[in-house]
Structure formats: structure tokens, C-alpha cells
């Protein structure tokens, strides 16, 4: 489930956006009202945070190079 930084660097921006949407839907499906912090939920949130961080770092690199 979790993508490593090396794997993220090989993905295009559109592929990462699609992966974000997939993970968000998975998070919604896995959320159960009585059990909000299961291990699966934590893994999904970590994967989302990793992609968001990678996207932010990549956009900062592009701004510096311009």
C-alpha cells in the first residue's frame, strides 16, 4: 500500500493524483464509526502524507529552478 519515495519519483504528477484519489476512497471505505484509528487507517494516512510531502517538495524544486 505505502509507496516509497523512489517509487513516487518514477510516477508522473497525474499518476500521483490518481493514487491520492484511490487512497482517499479507501480511507472512506475503511472508516467505521466505532473504530476510527485502526492500523489500516493509519497506514492510509501515512501514504497520503508521503505523497503530499513529495508533491510539495517537487513543486519547490520547480520554483527554485525557474
CA distance 28 to 31: 5
Residue 12 inside a domain? The answer is no
Residues 6+ apart with CB under 8 A from 31: 41
pTM value surpassing 0.85: no
Residue 56 inside a domain? The answer is yes
Contacts 24+ apart (CB under 8 A), 23-26: 23/47, 23/48, 23/51, 24/48
In which domain, by residue range, is 45 found? Answer: 38-66
Residue 6 inside a domain? The answer is no
Provide the domain count of the chain.
1
pLDDT digits (tens, 9 = 90+) for 14-60: 999 999 999 999 988 887 666 656 788 889 999 999 999 999 999 88
Residue 64 inside a domain? The answer is yes
Residue 45 inside a domain? The answer is yes
Per-residue cell: 32: 467505521
Amino acid at each position: 500500500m505505502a509507496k516509497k519515495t523512489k517509487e513516487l519519483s518514477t510516477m508522473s504528477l497525474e499518476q500521483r493524483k490518481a493514487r491520492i484519489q484511490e487512497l482517499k476512497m479507501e480511507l472512506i471505505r475503511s472508516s467505521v464509526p466505532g473504530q476510527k484509528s485502526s492500523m489500516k487507517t493509519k497506514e492510509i494516512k501515512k501514504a497520503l502524507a508521503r505523497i503530499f510531502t513529495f508533491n510539495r517538495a517537487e513543486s519547490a524544486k520547480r520554483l527554485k529552478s525557474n
